[in-house]
């Protein structure tokens, strides 16, 4: 299966759907900071891998897929949920990359410059995730 | 207060940016990778390094390993429920947050505390 970029997808998302993701992302980032301040970095660190906007994202995918199928005269409920499930399968692959991100930051952040470590760890997240996705397809 | 506002704005922007990237790609299984992007981590760690130092961030990243394993369990369960049993997305993914919490804190207690 070939990976493609569909710019028209941007127009399908309503302004309030963008706003919901922004607000959720902001709230979770504030909460992660508050939890670390009150309970220490050991507990706070768990929330750096919290599925922050996952429910909102999955709901959006289900809704868009359902609308698309219903425009074609097909009941899209099942297809919408399957599409959200496939997205979740991709996220499971992405978590392996996320694990590599965390391991690299843990091991390297005290020895190298922050921007170098965070850039390398983000690159590792993407590379590992894409590689596993290609191996699994 | 200023720090929290900054966290909110940076967190919202980084999470939204990765979410938009996820919207652009097809197929859905590939786009899903961006659902597990290190968005909250990037937004948090950049600010935390400047206020608390690198040792504090290293401790956070160590715990993040457990959080990422919990996220893997969460996303795998969500995929299974949605594809196999076609549960409503919002109900399934919201209820499974309890699974993430149990897995993350379970790992932390057993392995990291």
pLDDT, position B74:
97
Q: Choose the closest CB to B59 out of A33, A42, A126.
A: A42
3-state class of B26 per DSSP?
strand
Whether chain A has a CB inside 8 Å of the CB on B11: the answer is yes
Chain A residues in contact with B40 by the CB 8 A cut-off are 25, 28-29, 32, 47-50, 52
3-state class of B92 per DSSP?
helix
| pLDDT tens sequence across A98-109 | 999 999 999 999
Average pLDDT taken over every residue of chain B: 93
ipTM of the complex: 0.94
pLDDT, position B26:
87
Confidence band, pLDDT 50/70/90 cuts, at residue A11: confident
What number is the average pLDDT over the span A5-12?
83
| pLDDT tens sequence across A50-87 | 997 888 888 888 888 888 888 888 878 888 899 999 99
DSSP A13: S
- Read off φ and ψ for residue B27, nearest 5 degrees: -75, 175
Chain B residues in contact with A62 by the CB 8 A cut-off are 88-90
Q: Do residues B60 and A45 lie in contact, with contact meaning Cβ atoms separated by under 8 Å?
A: yes
**Which residue of B36, B46, B53, B56 to mutate against A (max A Cβ within 10 Å)?**
B36
What percentage of chain A reaches a pLDDT higher than 90?
Answer: 62
**Reduced 3-state DSSP string for A83-115:** HHHHHHHHHHHHHHHHHHHHHHHHHHCCCCCHH
Domain ranges within chain B, ordered by starting residue: 1-52, 53-113
Q: What is the distance in angstroms between the CA of the first residue and the CA of the last residue of chain B? A: 30
| pLDDT tens sequence across B37-91 | 999 999 999 999 999 999 999 999 999 999 999 999 999 999 999 999 888 999 9
């Amino acid at each position: 299966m070939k990976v493609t970029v569909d710019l028209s997808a941007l127009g399908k998302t309503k302004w309030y759907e963008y706003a919901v993701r922004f607000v959720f992302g902001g709230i979770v980032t504030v909460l992660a900071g508050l939890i670390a301040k009150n309970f220490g970095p050991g507990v706070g660190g768990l929330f750096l891998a919290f599925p922050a906007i996952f429910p909102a994202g999955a709901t959006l995918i289900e809704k868009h897929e359902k609308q698309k199928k219903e425009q074609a005269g097909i009941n899209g409920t099942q297809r919408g949920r399957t599409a959200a499930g496939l997205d979740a399968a991709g996220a499971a692959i992405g978590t392996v990359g996320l694990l590599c991100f965390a391991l690299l930051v843990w091991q390297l952040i005290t020895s190298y410059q922050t921007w170098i470590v965070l850039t390398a760890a983000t690159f590792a997240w993407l590379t590992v995730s894409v590689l596993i996705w290609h191996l699994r397809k | 207060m200023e720090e929290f506002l900054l966290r909110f704005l940076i967190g919202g922007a980084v999470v939204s940016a990765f979410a938009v990237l996820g919207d652009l790609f097809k197929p859905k299984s590939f786009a899903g990778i961006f659902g597990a992007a290190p968005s909250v981590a990037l937004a948090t760690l950049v600010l935390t390094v400047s206020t608390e130092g690198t040792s504090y961030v290293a401790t956070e990243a160590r715990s993040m390993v457990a959080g990422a394993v919990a996220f893997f369990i969460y996303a795998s369960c969500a995929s299974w429920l949605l594809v196999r049993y076609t549960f409503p997305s919002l109900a399934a993914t919201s209820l499974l947050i309890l699974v993430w919490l149990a897995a993350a804190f379970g790992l932390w207690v057993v392995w990291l505390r």
